[in-house]
Structure 1
């Protein structure tokens, strides 16, 4: 972000980036109620669906690796604009796919677009935090969750009243409109490889950091994302199969999870300023684990949905704290650290659910979600690793 940028421009850039996060959340929220419909449409079982989701994850991971390198050469701004707009048509491509091979190809493309946007938006968020001199990461992720809640709830209703095809087109149009309105106000830093005004030329170093602390943060991000990806990809199936929930009710599992995350994330920056990142991370992990355990043991669909919502309250600030810790990790470039933590972390939401599908097929959803609760409790023991989250390097 240029050192000559005014504070007003930086503030506008923050809100424009919030729209990019919201658009990404809308895409995922609109996708959630579509997932169960793929089974009868293409005559596949949950194992095949898991492989399709794995293809989505592979596409996303490839995009994240390329995006991390591209940021160093081009900066976040031009790439973020392109990725935000390119995501709009991917859901209709998936929904309208006439055959299983074309569906698999569309899923990989879906993952590519998601992966590019995730890396670029979070890297741009670190730049804006430094320009404004305060934390904004949690609230930006809150806009992602808000977009997911709106698209998930409205999308489930549109599907129940019209069709999956209509819902995908409405979602694509809404995302494109939001991105086009906000795009002119985005701002970004010069490429990492380019000299900053008034500073010496950037020192060339390895793209992948060797400090094991960065990789530990990446694994923590993966552990934090696994529950989110599991509820997104399998929550609706769990509610439908275990409790006989209809399409609308089944779609509310992820919607309420995303809603509780959004509410908590909008408070997250203020809470971190008062209590610190480590303490917030510790108690968030405990709350998330309790909610997931409740969902696993629930006697009915609405108790399970309530458990997912409680889990969302806890999961809300886990990833934002980890990303801020990575962006401010001592002795590391923000872009290099973010590329590793984002790439490893997003494996949890993009690739791990494919394994969750296999576990659910063989052991049932209750056992699977119960195991996720245990894993989330394990994150609380690693809270001290996020200490750098509050050490912002204000530019």
Structure 2
């Protein structure tokens, strides 16, 4: 590479790092902004819990269906194009969700919303792998930390706008405009293309080898996160004596701990190395599951949720980073495969836990999740740089 091109690339890298962080923030805000809208849409369309649960499957299904195709598109056209186009199309979905007139339109819009989020997810992680490779430092956990912060900000911002008495559509338009301005403002700072093989032909194929193993480990990690989202409040209410109004504090402890763990995760990786970060993190998360489910003292149970968030915080970022470095496979394709398998854990995991809880008890089912995390710890060498 000519010296001038190398110097130009080095000068652009800080801008690319900043842009990557902001795109992760956009993804987190966009996803979380939907949560405060759900009760409004449910009431307006007259949905019961069963109907709502069924239509919400379209959201996760859209993400999973789009990921393999987006991996190919990202490899072919570059991350910047996919992030820019999918990011702007994502912004369109948010206000549409506020005005959907019927259940069918809601399902189609959620499918579209999930597909755009999945597209941004794959492209931004592939872009993050390339930025991390060029910079030479561990950056992926920090990027994912901004996604977690975005999740907290998105839910809080939309809730605040609604609490001020603004109509749902106005709040959704405000969020969409904010995200659109960030995407347009950072577009030119994103790297044009990842790697030097963008013109090669890529075909769909079933995952195998290291890609499959990374995907399975991500499945377990996302399953653990899904367990927190769907079962933490039930655990605290039914087994630890919390009221229905206060049972959400468990997930709040988990979410804040995960965001904090990711924001300091890059420094932890420098100290411990990638393998031990995953090994220790999965072990801490497993212990957290046992403490949260088995401890009879409420503060100890909440400490377990904090440990789960801290322990699990850097596992998925390191898995994605490892997927992007696999030899003989374009980063976007590997990341798309691993992400799709991870989302399968997020979607199916809570149901699997429900079946196990029905056969035994919820604490016992969560103890099984702890055992699965110990298997992740035992397989930590796969993320070695």
- TM-score normalized by the length of structure 1: 0.81
For the pair 1:123 / 2:146, whether they are aligned, the reply is: no
Local SS of the residue matching 1:221: helix
Pick aligned residue for 1:188 from 189, 192, 196: 192
Partner of 2:267: 270
Q: Aligned runs of 1:29-178 on 2, under 5 Å?
A: 29-35=32-38, 42-159=45-162, 162=165, 165=168, 167-178=171-182
| Superimposed CA distance per residue, residues 197-231 of structure 1 (whole angstroms, 9 cap, x where no aligned partner) | xxxxx5x5655476412101011111111222343
Question: Given that residues 84 and 184 in structure 2 are in contact (C-alpha distance below 8 angstroms), is that contact kept between their aligned partners in structure 1?
Answer: no
Question: Given that residues 71 and 191 in structure 1 are in contact (C-alpha distance below 8 angstroms), is that contact kept between their aligned partners in structure 2?
Answer: no
Distance 2:163 2:247 in 1: 11
Distance 2:358 2:103 in 1: 21
- CA separation of 1:56/1:243 partners in 2, compared to 1, >3 Å: closer, same or farther? same
Q: CA deviation at 1:264?
A: 1.4
Local SS of the residue matching 2:210: helix
Question: Given that residues 23 and 178 in structure 1 are in contact (C-alpha distance below 8 angstroms), is that contact kept between their aligned partners in structure 2?
Answer: yes
- CA separation of 1:180/1:366 partners in 2, compared to 1, >3 Å: closer, same or farther? farther
- CA separation of 1:65/1:332 partners in 2, compared to 1, >3 Å: closer, same or farther? closer
Pick aligned residue for 1:179 from 173, 180, 183: 183
Distance 2:356 2:97 in 1: 25
- CA separation of 1:244/1:148 partners in 2, compared to 1, >3 Å: closer, same or farther? same
Q: CA deviation at 1:294?
A: 3.9
Distance 2:299 2:43 in 1: 25
Local SS of the residue matching 1:214: helix
Question: Given that residues 223 and 346 in structure 2 are in contact (C-alpha distance below 8 angstroms), is that contact kept between their aligned partners in structure 1?
Answer: yes
Local SS of the residue matching 2:276: helix
Question: Given that residues 78 and 198 in structure 2 are in contact (C-alpha distance below 8 angstroms), is that contact kept between their aligned partners in structure 1?
Answer: no
Measured on the aligned residues, the alpha-carbon RMSD in Å equals: 3.5
Local SS of the residue matching 1:326: helix
Q: Aligned runs of 1:16-31 on 2, under 5 Å?
A: 16-31=19-34
Distance 1:225 1:185 in 2: 30
Distance 2:263 2:16 in 1: 18
- CA separation of 1:19/1:252 partners in 2, compared to 1, >3 Å: closer, same or farther? farther
Q: CA deviation at 1:300?
A: 9.0
| Superimposed CA distance per residue, residues 148-175 of structure 1 (whole angstroms, 9 cap, x where no aligned partner) | 1222344445555547826544433332
For the pair 1:226 / 2:230, whether they are aligned, the reply is: no
Local SS of the residue matching 1:89: helix
Question: Given that residues 72 and 192 in structure 1 are in contact (C-alpha distance below 8 angstroms), is that contact kept between their aligned partners in structure 2?
Answer: no
Question: Given that residues 73 and 191 in structure 1 are in contact (C-alpha distance below 8 angstroms), is that contact kept between their aligned partners in structure 2?
Answer: no
Question: Given that residues 36 and 236 in structure 1 are in contact (C-alpha distance below 8 angstroms), is that contact kept between their aligned partners in structure 2?
Answer: no
Question: Given that residues 295 and 305 in structure 1 are in contact (C-alpha distance below 8 angstroms), is that contact kept between their aligned partners in structure 2?
Answer: yes
Question: Given that residues 75 and 191 in structure 1 are in contact (C-alpha distance below 8 angstroms), is that contact kept between their aligned partners in structure 2?
Answer: no
Question: Given that residues 47 and 358 in structure 1 are in contact (C-alpha distance below 8 angstroms), is that contact kept between their aligned partners in structure 2?
Answer: no
Question: Given that residues 149 and 255 in structure 1 are in contact (C-alpha distance below 8 angstroms), is that contact kept between their aligned partners in structure 2?
Answer: no
Q: Aligned runs of 1:275-354 on 2, under 5 Å?
A: 275-297=272-294, 307-353=304-350
| Superimposed CA distance per residue, residues 307-354 of structure 1 (whole angstroms, 9 cap, x where no aligned partner) | 433311111100011111111123433233222212222222345446
- CA separation of 1:106/1:162 partners in 2, compared to 1, >3 Å: closer, same or farther? same
Local SS of the residue matching 1:87: helix
- TM-score normalized by the length of structure 2: 0.83
Question: Given that residues 229 and 350 in structure 1 are in contact (C-alpha distance below 8 angstroms), is that contact kept between their aligned partners in structure 2?
Answer: yes
Q: Which moved more, 1:49-58 or 1:249-258?
A: 249-258
| Superimposed CA distance per residue, residues 260-298 of structure 1 (whole angstroms, 9 cap, x where no aligned partner) | 222211222222222211111011112222333444457
Partner of 1:198: none
- CA separation of 1:101/1:355 partners in 2, compared to 1, >3 Å: closer, same or farther? farther
- CA separation of 1:213/1:190 partners in 2, compared to 1, >3 Å: closer, same or farther? closer
